Amino acid sequence: MQLDRIDRRILHELQQDARLSNAALAERVGLSESACLRRVRLLEQAHVIERYAAVLNAPRVGITVSFIIRITLRGQTDQDLGAFEQAVATVPEVTECDLTTGESDYVLRVVARDAEDFERLHSKVLTKLPGVARVDSSFVLRSIVKNAGLPLDV
């Protein structure tokens, strides 16, 4: 799907506030309500918009610490990678997981209620994932940039 300037403006506005009414969105991007709704539906059907989500305040829901975890696997076969990826996707405390280049195979963003909760997660879950040879973790002191949106030329 080719995105034009109006599509990018729609996406920009929805990244800022996905709860915008269609009427408000149409006004912001300079379209009629029906044309705006048609474009949003096309963006959804083309999977440009994958889903809508609420961004939560972590401390307000009891999540007080986060960690960057680097994981190295024992093997590098497709089967090794697939088994790890399938298992890590079921761990609710893992908010992001990326296959990377460099010294580690995967980099994870993990959240926990507190240090004790992270210790449980580390010893009972992360080190037990299929094929894990090494787990290296860093405590996040403070998040500087936390942007869920993608940069769009609008």
| 153: pLDDT strictly greater than 90 | no
Rounded mean pLDDT of 41-55? 96
Number of domains, the chain: 2
pLDDT by residue (tens digit) across 65-122? 999 999 999 999 999 999 999 999 999 999 999 999 999 999 999 999 999 999 999 9
- pTM (two decimals): 0.85
Q: Are 64 and 111 in contact (CB under 8 A)?
A: no
d(CA 80, CA 96): 19
Residues 85, 124, single domain; the answer is yes
Residues 36, 62, single domain; the answer is no
Contacts 24+ apart (CB under 8 A), 88-91: 88/129, 91/121, 91/125, 91/126, 91/129
What CATH number is attached to the domain comprising 30?
1.10.10.10
| 146: pLDDT strictly greater than 90 | no
Q: Are 32 and 39 in contact (CB under 8 A)?
A: no
What CATH number is attached to the domain comprising 129?
3.30.70.920
Q: Where are the alpha helices (DSSP H) in the chain?
A: 5-16, 22-29, 33-45, 78-88, 115-124
Would you state the structure tokens that stand for residue 142, as one six-digit string?
A: 């403070």
d(CA 45, CA 41): 6
d(CA 119, CA 62): 16
Which band of pLDDT confidence, cut at 50, 70 and 90, is reported for residue 37? very high
Judge whether 126 lies within some domain: yes
Average pLDDT, the chain: 96
Range of the domain at 84: 58-139
The strands making up 106-112's β-sheet, listed across from edge to edge, are: 94-99, 106-112, 65-73, 132-139
Residues 89, 113, single domain; the answer is yes
d(CA 7, CA 36): 9
Helix (H) or strand (E) run with residue 132 in it: strand 132-139
Tell me what pLDDT residue 147 has. Answer: 81
| 154: pLDDT strictly greater than 80 | no
